[in-house]
Amino acid sequence: MSTRKRLTKTKRNQIERETDYLLDTKFGMKKIEPITKTQTKLFNAYQNGKNILAVGSAGTGKTYISLYLALKDVMAKNQYKEIIIVRSSVQAREQGHMPGDAKEKMGHFEAPYIDIVNDLFERGDAYQIMKQKNMIRFMSTSFIRGLTFDNALIIVDECQNMRWDELRTIMTRVGEGSRIILCGDTKQDDLACSKNKLDVSGLRYFKQVIDKMSADCFETVEFTVNDIVRSGLVKEFIIAEEQLELA
């Protein structure tokens, strides 16, 4: 039996009031400004209401910025009621020896978003509070078929690890009043190492499809090594890797 089921109605109401108080009075994010020209392009594309495909080098802030912008909108309680983070289950498929069922295995891949949200709010319980208030949800591509996401901001991370059928399924889940941001890096394609030869990244096909769509629908923002902000070491490493044509 879950902890929530054991709670009395009075206790649940008390917890709801306490989290509402936190959100209204003590729950503010630090302000993030774009550092590079490409980051500015991502900010502008979002503010212009576009659906976005953000692709390129690791450490450029694609996911961090996307979550920041989405959280600002959800916190404002305007059009969007929740953030839905979607990530492929490809790594879990390759790690069958890990303990637990599929959802428990996918819990390992939720960790980066917990860290980002807690960092943005500068408190260790921020992600949990947002999740408890149904303002943020983490899902695997394995569990979204048949769902419709209305009035949501959908962030699809590590999209290079998704097959074409996964990307297509996600796109056909986008309901009324929703927007989608896809983040990925073609040089970190885990499907290339998959034991299943049918596991091939669908990102190239996805890009071809959105290029055929109206310019008002999607904007592609491409990051390069010049946009790496994670650390100087990461930037130097990736530059050297590219010079040796190992990437």
**What CATH number does residue 137 fall under?**
3.40.50.300
User: Which residue in 27, 144, 155 sits closest to 80, CA to CA?
Assistant: 155
Residue 11 forms part of a structural domain:
no
Total tally of structural domains belonging to the chain: 1
Q: What is the pLDDT of residues 163-174, one digit of tens each?
A: 999 999 999 999
Residue 3 forms part of a structural domain:
no
Say how many residues make up the chain: 247
Per-residue confidence (pLDDT) for residue 246, from 0 to 100: 78
CB contact set of 165 (below 8 Å; sequence gap of 6+)? 202
Residues 200, 221, 83: CA angle, nearest 5 degrees: 80
Cβ–Cβ under 8 Å, residues 79 and 177: yes
Residue 5 forms part of a structural domain:
no
Q: What is the pLDDT of residues 65-101, one digit of tens each?
A: 999 999 999 988 878 999 999 998 665 445 555 566 6
Mean pLDDT of 223-245: 91
Quote the domain boundaries for residue 109. 35-243
Residue 14 forms part of a structural domain:
no
